Structure 1
């Protein structure tokens, strides 16, 4: 993994910064779900027709699972061993290889959670706002996401990821990028080794864990010159 150092490539999440520390308020109160609202302005329902990455190559169409509660009052616990153990303890089958469907539900520790097929209106997928809009727990959570990229040819690329906070990512069931420790979402924060997107269908899976603060991520594939790959078809079907 190669951390991107060029300042010209650093783009911070535009949402107001939240100081990372212990959860505010009385125990148990900060995690209380809020009344459900609308997914706008950060999301729109995904259409059936394939989408394209945006002009910088960021993938904006995703299946997102409603958050799994995983209480952590601080993000300093997200060491490599903790993140790997937690995010590979899959509570349901085919987590890294298969593709879920919009509306499909899974049950985790007695809680029924649904998958949503959405288009992000911005380059970074705002998981905090996704959870808030659905009236779900926003802090101390794990989000699972998935999408499909259809490549017109075999393509040598690198996966470039940013997330708030830690995350793990798989391409066609193979671990591809990992982000440990307490971190803010930064464009191209971690760049994978060179991988091959095969001609046709490629399944991308990810898991993001966060304690207090905002949760979001951004993903794109880049070429050897660091340019975003845009000639892909993106679908959740």
Structure 2
């Protein structure tokens, strides 16, 4: 009788484990087919910059509606008004969890951990792949940068379409790209910055009205060479 009871109990445990495994497999994140030419899902291994130093691993927030008909309004004062007053208190300078949601006004938006297959991050393709609004939007991007040592006199080199602001390690603004612009490598380079030993956080906000949206980011050392001995994480 006791052996029969134990056998039934073992069968129940096996069935439970199988059910949990099945549910877990079903919940495994799958990238939309439309996104696969541009993105992959991050692995457990930290990402490293490309040979030219560009950062490819990011946490991206689904686009926030920002109805603008022209990109000519993106002056310095306009960007600071929008980002600092309308969004920054809500989208805090932190590393969110993949799949977590963010309430921005009446919109409930989701964070996505993604690796770009290209040197730049195709925000327009990100929006369309997840069937989100693609024009008149604000995108937020966050990544964690692990540095093996303190690096002084480094510069943050940015290109974006359209305007953007970037912050390193907290609320201090590192660099701004204002106006109606296309993405160009190293379009704007920041003043001298410091990457501290250990974990650093880089946050960017890109706003665009009509047209495509994307960005590219890399760090340059004091001699202007791309920095590659860093690792990128979204956990």
TM-score class normalised by the smaller sequence: 0.7 to 0.9
2:208 paired with 1:210: yes
Specify the alignment match of 2:51 in structure 1.
Answer: 55
Q: 2:91·2:102 contact (CA, 8 Å) conserved in 1?
A: no
Mapped partners of 1:97, 1:140: distance in 2 = 22
SS in 2 for 1:131: helix
Mapped partners of 2:33, 2:216: distance in 1 = 23
Specify the alignment match of 1:31 in structure 2.
Answer: none
Residue 40 (structure 2) aligned to one of 24, 28, 44: 44
Give the direction of change, closer, same or farther, for the CA distance of 1:92–1:176 in structure 2 (3 Å limit): closer
Deviation of the 1:192 alpha carbon: 0.5
Deviates more, 1:86-95 or 1:124-133: 86-95
Structure 1: gaps (5+ residues): 1-35
Structure number with the bigger relative contact order (C-alpha 8 A, sep ≥ 6) is: 1
Deviation of the 1:221 alpha carbon: 0.3
Instruction: After superposition, give the CA deviation of every residue in 1:99-132 in whole Å (9 maximum; x if it has no partner).
Output: 1111110122222100000000001100000001
Mapped partners of 2:90, 2:104: distance in 1 = 14
> Which structure 2 residues correspond to residues 89-108 of structure 1 after superposition, within 5 A?
89-91=85-87, 93=89, 95-108=91-104
Residue 159 (structure 1) aligned to one of 132, 156, 160: 156
TM-score relative to the length of structure 2: 0.83
> Which structure 2 residues correspond to residues 162-177 of structure 1 after superposition, within 5 A?
162-173=159-170, 174-177=172-175
SS in 2 for 1:218: strand
Mapped partners of 1:207, 1:67: distance in 2 = 10
Give the direction of change, closer, same or farther, for the CA distance of 1:106–1:96 in structure 2 (3 Å limit): closer
Aligned length: 202
Residue 223 (structure 2) aligned to one of 214, 222, 225: 225
Q: 1:163·1:183 contact (CA, 8 Å) conserved in 2?
A: yes
Mapped partners of 2:143, 2:78: distance in 1 = 25
SS in 2 for 1:208: strand
Deviation of the 1:93 alpha carbon: 4.6
Q: Name whichever structure is richer in helix by fraction.
A: 2
SS in 2 for 1:88: helix
Mapped partners of 1:227, 1:96: distance in 2 = 31
Residue 198 (structure 2) aligned to one of 193, 197, 200: 200
TM-score relative to the length of structure 1: 0.82
Residue 234 (structure 2) aligned to one of 223, 233, 236: 236
Moved over 6 A (4+): none
